[in-house]
A and B are shown apart, each in its own frame.
Chain A
């Protein structure tokens, strides 16, 4: 045991010989969503481990395609991944349950969902550290004024697998459009709108050709910080603990940061000429119930063996 302590001591004596980890993110390093928040976490790690850990941000999809980053971290090509389950749900369907969590990261750490995810990620060969992007629910953006769910019927919306089933349930026509084609499709009226979180469309320039933002958030964020187990275990047990704790603390700072950013973004999209509209209470209730029904059904289809436990953890009437 004294040998272990020696090793630990050697490991934590990092100021001279820091352990360097490679970090990879699903968005480029200059994206609004990543450019401040990733350095914020890195700074925290480097400070609280007293320089024993050094993190090198090796970039985004230009370094490793977003959809491969889950496996890249699992296989140790990178050590840490900032990703969203939309890009690895095909490898780990139960990770899509994050969409359905009605809880804050802090609540998830208390009610057992964090622990559940840790186990599942561990089974997939990864260490689950925590979240990095919240709140970031999904929204509909439209060029038609939407006052009720009926107004959505028979509209054509740009979609991706996150929205497909919801749109179909609403009687809409979801269309798969390449990100680079979205602008033209909106401009030319090929689609009436699209699904996207609040942050993004303005940066992409889509707000130039979008009239309305429907202020009816649905589903929850699904962004995770994942670490390669070998890399994690190479840390002294003291530093392992520190990393987990500081990420938990980081989550609340991160939420403050994104709340401010979201507030700013609302003003910016309005300045860009996008009108923020709301559904009335009744319609909103109906909509949320429908989203919940559809998404739980599709989760049951994609991960039948996990559904019972997930319902226990996340389902709220």
Chain B
């Protein structure tokens, strides 16, 4: 069961990251299109900048959990070598718990803000008049997946410790 859930999480993270990559390509292509259209046809798409801005927000929230899975987030590892394995285990637990707590808060207040924006029908002031709920929603959404990844990290850290302990007991009993 847990294994299946874990695979669903992997799949979700991959899909979100993939969408991020596609959005990046869209951002590039639309800006190129804008430059060419403006130069050749004297026509400017007023939505291009706006779309690129939203994509900038989407990228880290689509890719955050995916990057965390491979421990890709920037970390100051200056003290890592000085830590004993026990201390490292404790700090790993602490990091995961801190991560989960941050995510819960961001998901909660992100959701509140998203609903607030939806309820007030906030739209961008541009020609597109994009409902800002589509923009804001990625914050709680992406952070929710990030939270699941932190939970998996916590689970795996504890699991690993257990199996190490087991090996320890085996080797000492030998």
Direct touching of A and B (C-beta under 8 Å)? yes
Q: Which residues of A contact B (CB under 8 A)?
A: 86, 89-91, 154, 156, 159, 161, 164-165, 173-176, 178
Judging by beta carbons under 8 Å apart, are B125 and A174 in contact?
A: no
Judging by beta carbons under 8 Å apart, are A176 and B125 in contact?
A: no
Interface flags, B130-161, vs A, CB<8A=1, else 0? 00100000000000000000000000000000
Known: A164-B127, A173-B38. A90 touches B46 (CB 8 A): no
10 A–B contacts from the bound complex (CB under 8 Å): A89-B125, A90-B123, A156-B38, A156-B42, A156-B44, A161-B125, A173-B38, A173-B42, A174-B46, A178-B49
Minimum Cβ distance to chain A for residue B101 (Å)? 22
Interface flags, B14-47, vs A, CB<8A=1, else 0? 0000000000000000000000001000111010
What is the bound-complex CA distance between A173 and B44, given in angstroms? 6
Residue B118 lies at the interface, judged by CB distance under 8 Å to chain A: no
Q: Kindly identify which residue among B50, B120, B132 contacts A176, using a CB–CB cutoff of 8 Å.
A: B50
What is the bound-complex CA distance between A98 and B34, given in angstroms? 33
Minimum Cβ distance to chain B for residue A316 (Å)? 25
Judging by beta carbons under 8 Å apart, are A90 and B124 in contact?
A: yes
Residue B94 lies at the interface, judged by CB distance under 8 Å to chain A: no
Minimum Cβ distance to chain A for residue B112 (Å)? 12
Contacts of B46 in A (CB 8 A): 159, 164, 174-176
Minimum CB distance partner of A124 in chain B? B120
Minimum Cβ distance to chain B for residue A91 (Å)? 6
| Interface size of B as a range | 10 to 19
Main secondary structure, interface of B, reads loop
Contacts of A175 in B (CB 8 A): 38, 44, 46
Minimum Cβ distance to chain A for residue B150 (Å)? 28
Minimum Cβ distance to chain A for residue B124 (Å)? 6
Residue in A91, A154, A161, A176 with the greatest tally of chain B CB atoms within 10 Å: A176
Residue B106 lies at the interface, judged by CB distance under 8 Å to chain A: no
Minimum CB distance partner of B39 in chain A? A190
Judging by beta carbons under 8 Å apart, are A91 and B122 in contact?
A: yes
Contacts of B122 in A (CB 8 A): 90-91
Minimum Cβ distance to chain A for residue B115 (Å)? 14
Judging by beta carbons under 8 Å apart, are A176 and B38 in contact?
A: no
Segment 47-69 of B: residues with Cβ below 8 Å from A? 48-50
Judging by beta carbons under 8 Å apart, are B132 and A154 in contact?
A: no
Contacts of B125 in A (CB 8 A): 86, 89-90, 161
Residue B172 lies at the interface, judged by CB distance under 8 Å to chain A: no
Q: Kindly identify which residue among A86, A90, A173 contacts B43, using a CB–CB cutoff of 8 Å.
A: A173
What is the bound-complex CA distance between A176 and B31, given in angstroms? 12
Residue B71 lies at the interface, judged by CB distance under 8 Å to chain A: no
Judging by beta carbons under 8 Å apart, are B132 and A90 in contact?
A: yes
Known: A154-B42, A156-B38. A176 touches B48 (CB 8 A): yes
Residue B171 lies at the interface, judged by CB distance under 8 Å to chain A: no
Judging by beta carbons under 8 Å apart, are A91 and B120 in contact?
A: yes
Contacts of A174 in B (CB 8 A): 44, 46
What is the bound-complex CA distance between A42 and B123, given in angstroms? 34
Residue B169 lies at the interface, judged by CB distance under 8 Å to chain A: no
Residue B173 lies at the interface, judged by CB distance under 8 Å to chain A: no
Residue B84 lies at the interface, judged by CB distance under 8 Å to chain A: no
Contacts of B132 in A (CB 8 A): 90
Contacts of B43 in A (CB 8 A): 173
Minimum Cβ distance to chain B for residue A165 (Å)? 8
What is the bound-complex CA distance between A164 and B126, given in angstroms? 8
Segment 84-124 of B: residues with Cβ below 8 Å from A? 120, 122-124
Minimum Cβ distance to chain B for residue A130 (Å)? 24
Contacts of A89 in B (CB 8 A): 125
Minimum Cβ distance to chain A for residue B50 (Å)? 7
Given contact pairs A174-B44, A176-B126, enumerate 7 new A-B contacts (beta carbons under 8 Å).
Answer: A156-B42, A159-B46, A164-B126, A165-B127, A173-B38, A175-B46, A176-B44
Contacts of B123 in A (CB 8 A): 90
Contacts of B38 in A (CB 8 A): 156, 173, 175
What is the bound-complex CA distance between A233 and B43, given in angstroms? 52
Contacts of B48 in A (CB 8 A): 176
Contacts of A178 in B (CB 8 A): 49
Contacts of B126 in A (CB 8 A): 161, 164, 176
What is the bound-complex CA distance between A313 and B127, given in angstroms? 27
Contacts of B44 in A (CB 8 A): 156, 173-176
Minimum Cβ distance to chain A for residue B27 (Å)? 14
